[in-house]
Amino acid sequence: MRTAVAIVGGGPSGLLLSQLLHRAGIGSVVLERRSRDYVLGRIRAGVLEDGTQALLRRAGVGERMDREGLVHDGFSLAHGGGTHRIDLAALTGRSVMVYGQTEVTKDLYAARDAMGGTVLHGVEDVALHDLTGDAPSVTFRHEGADRRLACDFVAGCDGFHGPTRQSIPAPERREFERVYPFGWLGILSETAPVDHELIYATHGDGFALCSMRNPRLSRYYIQCRADENPDDWPDARFWDALRARLPAALAEALETGPSIEKSVAPLRSYVCETMRHGRLFLAGDAAHIVPPTGAKGLNLAAADIHYLSEALIAWYGTGDAAPLDGYAARALRRIWKTERFSWWMTSILHDFPDRSPFERRMQRAELDYLTQSSAAMTALAENYVGLPY
């Protein structure tokens, strides 16, 4: 088997890259370890920056998003018993779209199918070869047979736990990490969202987030211990804890009902500065992780794919290798700024068990400043709607 770009990982990064390359006449094969149902069963964040929306439209997968997505011109911060709205539209002239990552992934699969794209599911034992020469290849097992895919380039889009990053020799990898001393317990319920916009709440018991997927499907999170077992959280306990963290008027308005999904996610910041090894290029969660506060994971992956697809298209179009050579540096400048924002939003909104009384007062003062200064709110808003590419 031979293709131009071998893409390891059929999550949003890999599929979007495959789709953008296809539209530029460049072939690719996507190798995904899991089944399609499994990939589509993962529930992830659901806020798209306008740059991500534009990229999805450019990839030819924006039609359902534009029809079903919810345009949000603002969100609220709740603290000290009140709420404060961050008016994204007034502060930046831009907005975000609430549309679940699962839906984005579904649309990408549908587009790959419609264009006859090759996505192999259930691949095992992916191994990369000859990355530093000009004829790399990927070997794997698929449907009981050993296969070899010859290619020009390999895109490592296999998420945080995938194998491609490990193909970069350890001495060349520069990794930076912060693991937060808490997680998020999230539920999905077929209830009306408590508000028409998102609410990020901070409280002595910990952070809470009221989000949504559509007008009859709510997504709520509460800060919990990193090793929390979701089975210890019957629905009633979850709703009580959420209500306690919300201002009284919202707590009263909260519609509760049975959860249809419940899971705990750890919070981590991580960057692998080395995003290239010879003809291997990393993108998305394979190269970096942000904590979910601010919903940057998918948006950051989309920005990587924008840079990487442009660089590959330039190489195939004119033979110009400069954009590929500059890919990591270009992507990392934006990655670090988005890492900073996600870390900052996490640090002002959560209860850190190890914070000193002084640090707690600093946190309170920061929130107070944020809700009183239009300069501070603008800084928050411009990061939330997304930094330019």
Supply the residues annotated as catalytic.
72, 200, 292, 296, 384
Taking the complex as a whole, the smallest distance from the CB of residue 219 to ligand PHB amounts, in Å, to 4
> Does 295 help bind ligand PHB (rule: CB under 6 A)?
yes
Q: Which stretches of the chain are assigned E, i.e. beta strand?
A: 5-8, 28-32, 47-48, 70-72, 74-79, 82-87, 96-98, 118-121, 124-129, 137-142, 145-150, 153-156, 175-189, 199-201, 208-214, 217-224, 259-272, 276-277, 280-282, 288-289
What single letter denotes the amino acid at residue 324? L
E-strand spans in 232-354?
A: 259-272, 276-277, 280-282, 288-289
Q: Is there binding between residue 293 and ligand PHB (CB under 6 A)?
A: yes
For residue 139, what are the β-bridge partners?
127, 148
Site string for ligand APR, 82-111 (x = CB under 6 A): -------------------x----------
Residue 295 binding: pick among ligand APR, ligand PHB, none (C-beta 5-8 Å cut-off by kind): ligand PHB
Contact 109, 119 (CB under 8 A): yes
Single-letter code of the amino acid located at 159: G
* Least distance from ligand APR to the Cβ atom of residue 33, Å: 4
Q: Does 301 interact with ligand APR (rule: CB under 6 A)?
A: yes
For ligand PHB, give the closer residue by CB, 255 or 320: 255
Q: Is 149:140 a contact under the CB 8 Å cutoff?
A: yes
> Helix 374-385 and helix 322-349: axis angle, to 10°?
130
- C-beta atoms surrounding 344 within 10 Å: 16
Cβ distance to ligand PHB smaller for residue 45 or 328: 45
Told to check if 8 binds ligand APR by CB under 6 A, we report yes
Judged by CB under 6 A, the number of residues near ligand APR is 27
**Binding of ligand APR by 55 (CB under 6 A):** no
The stretch near ligand PHB (CB under 6 A) out of 155-163, 287-295, 309-317, 322-330 is: 287-295
What is the C-alpha separation between 14 and 24, in angstroms, rounded? 16
Q: Which residues would be at the binding site for ligand PHB (CB under 6 A)?
A: 45-47, 198, 209, 211, 219, 292-295
Q: Which residues would be at the binding site for ligand APR (CB under 6 A)?
A: 8-14, 31-34, 39, 44-45, 101, 123, 126, 157-159, 162-163, 284-285, 297-298, 301
